Structure 1
């Protein structure tokens, strides 16, 4: 067997095989989270791009923590699959069944949301356990403390998740500037689309 006979899974994205999971981006969590406005902006960009690219979109809401943040503009979309839950992982048995039966080609999950060390981590680990390739969007996840956030990201990386960014995901899904949906997504000046979450890299708390 030559070195080229078996391809390594390097996490290459394919819009025909990918779903977006948005974990608990709810109004009552906002005041607790580090860099909440930046995370919301990145998540909003992911949702908009996923909608344009016809990705399945699942949005979880932890019971008792209010509705999803209005800045996400979820009411603008008709294809959102809402997942009310009490357990930490949003990949409940019925969600896994939905993915399997309604979207059998999906083998890759993009994950964003809060809290990184709790519901996001549980969702990522469940996805990995069930054989999905998982991309964690590092500038679209947060926790009340930067310590919990960073160690959770390290834990998920150790378990096999790919750590990435909002724009890297979008460009990875588009693959080519000649993609007819490229300029449907990039309709605004570049600097207004890109979410500056550089503070998340410093591990210094916002507040």
Structure 2
């Protein structure tokens, strides 16, 4: 039987990941807002790393749910081209959601820093720091971060286009309290 809609857990994870991606990105501006040596600058990066680890955990949960449950069938209102773009866009978002935290972890360790999760636990770097590798990873990490914001923006615009122009239920399927007519039997 095809999956008709997203579960409430999948919807919650979707919006939590959105908030984390935007929040983590905004924390990178701590470099511009605070001078070297300012404790707020270090706090911004500590939060960036901690929330990045939270992002990694939630991404793993989301991917596991996607693999276990699958994805709902795409609406009949979507053309073949729209379906292809949607699938490619979702794949790209998932790849970036996995790659960005992995790159962030590697960047932290190649800088010679330990990973810490809100001070609850610390994982020291398992290898010798290398500033050259760290610099290369930082560039890729930054490019991926910019790419995910662009893709997420396109994703949001497509959802709004479906809602306001095509007037189908693509956006409705991911809203937290939506009651898709075909899902009523599951609530």
What TM-score do you get using the length of structure 1 for normalisation? 0.26
What TM-score do you get using the length of structure 2 for normalisation? 0.28
